[in-house]
Structure formats: structure tokens, C-alpha cells
Amino acid sequence: MQSDKIYELLNKTLFTWPQHSSDKFTIGDSFEGVQIFGATGSGKTSGSGKHIAKSFLKNGYGGLVLCAKPSERKTWEAYIKNAGREKDMVIFSPGRRSFNPIAYEQQRFGKGAGETLNITNLIMSLNNLARNFMAGEGGENGSEKFWENAVQRAISRMIDLLKLAGEDLSIMNMREVIVNALTKENAEQFLQINNIMNDPESGDADINIAFEKLQLMQEDNYCLRCLLKAIERDDLTTSQENARSLVQSYFFKEFALLSERTKSIVIEQFLGLIAPFETGLLQKQFSSEISDDLWPELTYEEGRIIILDFPVKEHLIAGVYAQGLYKFIFQQAMERRDTDKEENPRPCFLWVDESHLFMNPVYDALFQSTARSSLCATVLLSQGINSYYAAMGSSRSESRTKSLLMNLTTKIFHASNDHDTNTYASDLIGQDFREMTSIQRKHTELGQATLAEHLFPKVFPHEFTMLEKGGDKSNGFKAEAIIFKSPSRGWSTKETYLRCKFAQRD
């Protein structure tokens, strides 16, 4: 049941829409999500974006900001300074602070912490990010799904192996395990040695030779060393014992017996996935420890505003991985939040400009559908609907996009020349009856006029191309937009949409 405290919070007004002083945007509206569309230079960032961002900061929201452009950090620093929130600002940038996502998954509080499945999902989420960055190349046809499952199984067994062996669970150790995974010959040799060593009939000399062979084998094979450490353990719980049999079966049989081609594809795919973590930015700042002020929970506990200053325009795929991973972890932390137990639940926001670059096709819509109960406001900014289709993979991209957009209930459309986005907007806004007169006449006669009602779009697609863009002194630096939402009380204009002009220089 919703408490009075939450009810009050949800109904608090954040701002009124420009030129419409009785049309409010409440904190509750913010949790239902905002999507801002518009061509480049239409005023998404400096118009409606700024209007919303400032209201979040003024009202004490904690939050996370992803940066696509190098200018983004400065923009947010200025907003934060303006709102007097400097003490809450945490800038995570090259050479400053570090965050190891795997260590976080192991150390965080709450259900599922350190579970193999969650860590595997985290690493597999890199797959989506890489695909988005390549503008949706590939997809989920049968063969891709097969390889994805194969890599997922390998990752999950590597994680269990490292855990059972008591080794550090790091990307680099996972790499060592897979590149040293036993071959068919290794596995057979190990089996023979093992038989000799465990056979009561074996003589001391045979056992010694077998032991030496085993020493030699494991000396240069990290995977085998881990397996032996795991096998030696006698302190395992039942579920750990189950995990150990799966791991043994995988590395001594299943993986070892795979054809060379299959094996090399799985290894290649895994190495491709983690390659950015082997050097540079991700190796330095995403593979070591976790800086104290980068725990995502601090956004709602203390109102921190974390800016991920790894602009994609500069850092390319490394910037996408760094920010996409942190975003995923932040969203999960929000979902784990138990607002009933918080004395003064603090609203939070997730701000994603160029949102198509950081999309998780399945999880984002799921997150958004429960964001209201986590008190998290998502604001996505992107040029148009086609960037989303491309980011959602080749199968069901349209339905996935629309399901995400359905859960972002406030949609702001700035000037755009993208036909699909404009048609989508016009369709959402709907149609109404308009009177149309037609006159039928022959050229010698006066003719007969007929008045009939026809259905027409309330806003035609081409009208979105004519909205005023920002940066124009002659209109007082205003960026025009059409807002679509179905507010519970309806707009004061009695329409399904609202036209606004956002001042860029406020």
C-alpha cells in the first residue's frame, strides 16, 4: 500500500510547462520516464533537457549522468553549481576514481550478491553495448543465439571455477582460465594420471612419476591449477558441490571435447568481449577497486550526483562499456531499493543523452516498468526512433522500442526531419474530426457544396519539421517542442498534447 509520505512525494510539482502555468510536471510524472526526441541542434539539451535537469537538482534528486559529448560534463557542472549542490557532485573521469563492476557485484549488499548468474549477466551485457555501438550489426538469429549461449555458459563456469579455487574473480583471471582451458589430450592425460594416483595397485615409482607429470602439467596451466584447488576442497556446501561437478564436467569433458573450431569461436567471442578491459581506460579504472564515493547506492542514500565523464565521442567503445556497465549496475541498485524502509525516500534520476548508445534491449523496458516504485526518473535523449530500432537488435526491434517508449510516458518532440519519428509522434497525438467542404460543379453551373466531417491528424507529421530550433536570437533563443502525455487530469488546453517554447538562456 502506498504510504502518505510517498503519495505526497509523487504529487509534488517539479515545474509547470512553459506558457502553460496550470499544467504541472510532478515528481510522480518524472518516475514514469521522459523521452526527448529531436534533430541535432533542435534544443533537446539546452531547451527541454535543461528545464527538467534543473528541476531535479533543485528538488534534491540524487542521480547518474552519462556523457556522450565532451561538453556534457561542463554543462552538468554548471547546472549543479547553479543549484548549490557542489558538495553532492562526484565526477568519475579518466585518471580520477575507479570502479570494478565485478568486485561491486560480489561486495554489494542485498539478494543475489556475488551470484554467478548475476556476474555472468553483467559481462554478457557488454555484448549488447558492443552491438549498439556497431549500429545494431548482427542480431539474434538462431546461430547468434547459439554462440551467445555457449559464451554465457563458458563465462558462468569460469566464474564458478575461480570462486571454488579461491582465486580473485577478475576479468584477467577469467581470461587466463579460458585461454588455458584443457584440450582433449590434456584431459585424457589428467585422467590417466589421476587413475594411477588413485589406484591402490599402483607402485610408489608409478605414483611418483604420475605426480611429477601432474606438477609439470599444472605449472604452466592456470586452468588446471584452479581445477586442482577446487577438487581438493572439502569444505563445500551442497550447492558449491553441485557447482564443482558442473565445473569439472565442463572443463574435463564438455569444453575439452568440443571441436577446435567451436572452441576457438567461444574463446574468440569471450576475448572480444573483454578486450577493452585488457588495456587503457577500462584496465586502469574498471578492473581494480571501488572508490568510496562511487557506490551507486549513495545517490539515494546521500543525494550524490555521479557524472560519468567518459564521453563516447572521445573514448569510443571504451566509453560505451564504461558508462553502459555503470548504468546497468545503477539500475539494478535502484531496483533493490526498499523505499518502505527509508525514512525520507529520496528521488533519483538517470540521465542518458544519446541514449541509443547505451541501450539494453530487454532490461531497459523492464526497469522502466518498475521505476516508479524505485523512485527513479529516467530521462533519455536521442535524435529519433530509428536510432532505437538499430540499437534493439535485428529481431523484434520495433516492438522492443515501442514497449520502452510506452513506459516513458512523457514524450517531448523537438524539431525533427525524421519521417518515422514525426509519424510516430503524429500517430500518438491522434486524430480529430474536422469539417471539410467539397463543391461539385460543372463549369456552366453554380454547383453544390457538401459539408462533411473527416478524420485528420491533430498535428501532421510535417509540422514537426517546422518547430523552432534553438540558437536563434530573433526568437529570443527559444526551442519549441510538442509534449505528449496523457496526464490523469488532462491538459488545461483539453488537447492530447501541449506546445511549449523552452528558453535556452534562463
Ligand X SMILES: Nc1ncnc2c1ncn2[C@@H]1O[C@H](COP(=O)(O)OP(=O)(O)OP(=O)(O)O)[C@@H](O)[C@H]1O
Contacts with ligand X in 414-473 (CB under 6 A)?
470-471
Q: Select the span of 34-42, 438-446, 451-459, 480-488 touching ligand X (CB under 6 A).
A: 34-42
Beta-strand relationship, 305-308 and 89-92:
parallel
Q: How far is the CB of 71 from ligand X (least distance, A)?
A: 8
Q: Which CB sits closer to Mg ion, 129 or 479?
A: 479
Nearer to ligand X, 157 or 469 (CB): 469
Closest to ligand X by CB, 51 vs 131, is 51
Among 30, 35, 45, 416, which residue interacts with ligand X (rule: CB under 6 A)? 45
Residue of 1, 4, 21, 40 that binds ligand X (CB under 6 A): 40
Distance, CA of 501 to CA of 355 (rounded, Å): 23
Q: How far is CA 222 from CA 375, 390, 445, in A?
A: 45, 40, 97
Query: Which of the stretches 26-34, 45-53, 173-181, 399-407 binds ligand X when contact is defined by CB under 6 A?
Result: 45-53
Please choose, out of 22-30, 43-51, 344-352, 422-430, the segment that lies near ligand X by the rule CB under 6 A: 43-51
**320 within 8 A of 358, measured Cβ to Cβ:** yes
Residue 161 CA to residue 163 CA, distance in Å, equals: 5
Angle CA(346)–CA(349)–CA(355) in degrees, nearest 5? 170
Q: 471 to 500, contacts with ligand X by CB under 6 A?
A: 471, 477
- 42 binds, options Mg ion, ligand X, none, Cβ within 5 to 8 A by partner type: ligand X
Answer yes or no whether residue 387 interacts with ligand X by CB under 6 A.
no
98 close to 285: Cβ distance less than 8 angstroms: yes
Counted residue by residue, the chain has a size of 506
What are the phi and psi torsion angles at 16 (to 5°)?
-110, 155
C-alpha grid cell for residue 29? Answer: 510524472
Shortest reach from residue 124's CB to ligand X, in Å = 30
Sites for Mg ion among residues 62-101 (CB under 5 A): none
* C-alpha closest to that of 411 among 396, 399, 426, 395: 426
Q: How far is the CB of 78 from ligand X (least distance, A)?
A: 10
Between 226 and 308, name the residue whose CB sits nearer to ligand X.
308
3-class SS string, 344-374: CCCCEEEEEECHHHHCCCCHHHHHHHHHHHH
Report phi then psi at 21, rounded to 5: -70, -10
- Residue for cell digits 577446487? 230
Which CB atom, from 132 or from 332, has the smaller least distance to ligand X?
Answer: 132
* Chosen residue from 9, 14, 30, 42 binding ligand X by CB under 6 A: 42
For ligand X, the closer CB: 133 or 477:
477
By CB under 6 A, residue 245 contacts ligand X = no
Identify which of residues 27 and 379 has a Cβ nearer to Mg ion in the complex.
379
Query: Cβ 43 to Mg ion, closest distance in Å?
Result: 8
Cα angle 43, 71, 95 (rounded to 5 degrees) comes to 155
d(CA 340, CA 120): 30
Among 46, 55, 173, 355, binds ligand X (CB under 6 A): 46
Q: Tell me the C-alpha to C-alpha distance, in Å, between residue 307 and each of 88, 374, 487.
A: 11, 20, 31
DSSP-derived letter for residue 382 is E
Q: Which is nearer to Mg ion, 45 or 407 (CB)?
A: 45
Angle of helix 116-133 relative to helix 260-274, nearest 10 degrees, comes to 80
Binding to ligand X in span 69-88, by CB under 6 A: none
Specify the 3-state DSSP secondary structure of 383. coil
The entry of Mg ion, ligand X, none that residue 403 binds, CB within 5 to 8 Å by partner kind: none
Using rule CB under 5 A, residue 42 touches Mg ion: no
Question: How far apart (Å, rounded) are the C-alpha atoms in residues 471 and 76?
Answer: 19
Residue 368 within binding range of Mg ion, rule CB under 5 A: no
Q: Report d(CA 255, CA 247) in Å as an integer.
A: 10
Contact (CB, 8 A) for 29 and 491: no
Contact partner at residue 319 from ligand X, Mg ion, none, CB < 5 to 8 Å by partner kind = none
Count residues binding ligand X (CB under 6 A). Answer: 15
Under the binding rule (CB under 6 A), the answer on residue 44 touching ligand X is yes
CA distance 357 to 380: 11
CB of 38 to Mg ion, least distance (A): 9
By the rule CB under 5 A, 387 interacts with Mg ion: no
Torsion of CA 220, 222, 226, 231, to 10 degrees: -40
Tell which one of 30, 35, 45, 401 touches Mg ion (CB under 5 A): 45
User: C-beta of 68: minimal distance to ligand X in Å?
Assistant: 8
Contact residues: ligand X, CB under 6 A: 38, 40-47, 383, 470-471, 477, 504-505
Contact residues: Mg ion, CB under 5 A: 44-45
